[in-house]
Amino acid sequence: MKVTIKEVAQLAGVGVGTASYALNGTGSTKVGARTRERVLAAARQLNYRVNTFGRALKMDRSYLVGAIFPTVRHESIPEIMQGMEDELTRHGYGMLFYTYSELEELRSKCRCLLDKRADGIILFPEAPHRHDYYDFYRELAASVPVVATSGHRQEELPRVLVDGYELGRIGTEYLIANGHRKIALVNDWLDWRTDGYRDVLAVHGIPFVPDYVFRDFSRPHDGPGLLSWWLEFPPEQRPTAVFCPSDGSAADLQNAAHDREIELPRELSVLGTDGLIIGTLAHPRLSSMGQPHYRQGAESVRLLLELITGSAPENVLLQPTLIPRESVWNFNRKN
């Protein structure tokens, strides 16, 4: 399991330099076809595999990139990772996986990554409204290529994100098409979604009601929290549909509604975001704004690799797609 390039060269009867050129295809002008063949044959025979460390030491390139996520418990992360892994493997890179839950941990994990000489880092940013994080992103990006992967508004870093405006627009359009007029929007940090929502309402001549937008981040963002917010509206003003920022919160809202014996989806329609498989396990099965997580991962890698090889890549904007299922009531069809 420990055959070196020297032994390959010896068996092929050439110098180590020549063997290196032949093996890597570099200096293709410099090594004759017959010689190359001999080297390759010898390598195959000996089952030679390059020692990454020798190479990395000399070349100052590790072919490793780091991936840091705020917590794996966020359901869309596995799919993103899958996209990243596939794309990285196709380019001969390895992926170093880390998680963090607060800034200090992020710092120390990035230090680990730097120690391991990662060629670049893909960062899933959390809590993008906090300035200390922003400062750290900038500081980090100064010493190593970094790209952000997420739907957050992330001005600092090269990034791939999902078009929040379109997401809000398409989702709201769908609800309106199903006859909804009183539509609530639960906000996450993705403000663009609100713009899309508001614009579509305008197009259809539906007045924008500020109270229908849940912005209160001091309140719990979970099912019971959202439901009690919803219940505070007097019945005739109560939204007929709630547009949630994730499938988890949407399903949780549905379950809270079940507990109160509210009839779903007739009394309360719910539209999720993410289009995850968990949506099909909820009852009713969640309609959702699907996000292209796999592509998000793959594109992040593409960007990072460009960054590593020296070009200044353009940000990527991915489009969401509607996944209609059963959680939205259709007022137009007489059920």
Rule CB under 7 A: is residue 2 a binding residue for DNA?
yes
CA-based end-to-end distance of the chain = 69
Q: Is 220 in the site for DNA (CB under 7 A)?
A: no
Instruction: State the binding partner of 194 from a second copy, DNA, none, CB within 5 to 8 A by kind.
Output: none
| Binding partner of residue 203 among DNA, a second copy, none, CB cut-off 5 to 8 Å per kind | none
Q: Which pair of tokens denotes residue 103?
A: 């800034």
Of residues 63 and 98, the one with the C-beta less far from DNA: 63
For DNA, the closer CB: 22 or 183: 22
- Kindly state whether residue 46 participates in binding a second copy, applying the rule CB under 8 A: no
Q: Which of 20, 240, 246, 254 binds a second copy (CB under 8 A)?
A: 254
Residue 240's Cβ-count burial label (10 Å; 0-12, 13-18, 19+) is buried
Show Cβ contacts of residue 126 under 8 Å, excluding neighbours closer than 6 positions.
70, 100, 133
Radius of gyration of the chain from Cα atoms? 26
| Long-range interactions of 82-87: CB distance < 8 A, separation 24+ | 82/294, 82/297, 83/293, 83/294, 83/295, 83/296, 83/297, 83/298, 83/299, 83/300, 83/301, 84/122, 84/297, 84/298, 84/300, 84/301, 85/297, 86/297, 86/298, 87/297, 87/298, 87/301, 87/302
Work out whether 109 is an interface residue with a second copy (CB under 8 A): yes
Kindly give the pairing relationship between strand 241-243 and strand 213-214. unpaired
Residue 321 engages a second copy in binding (rule: CB under 8 A): no
Kindly tell me which residue out of 25, 32, 198, 326 binds DNA, with binding defined by CB under 7 A.
Answer: 32
How many helices (H) and strands (E) the chain has is answered by 12, 12
Residue 198 near a second copy by CB under 8 A: no
Min dist CB 95 to a second copy, Å, is 5
In the list 45, 51, 108, 309, the residue contacting DNA (rule: CB under 7 A) is 51
Output the smallest distance, CB 143 to DNA, in A.
15
Contacting residues toward a second copy, per CB under 8 A? 1, 49-54, 56-57, 62-64, 67, 71-73, 77-79, 81-82, 85, 89, 94-99, 109, 111-112, 114-117, 143, 248, 251-252, 254-255, 258, 277-278, 280-283, 285
Contacting residues toward DNA, per CB under 7 A? 2, 4-6, 13-21, 23-24, 26, 29-32, 34-35, 48-51, 53-55, 57-59
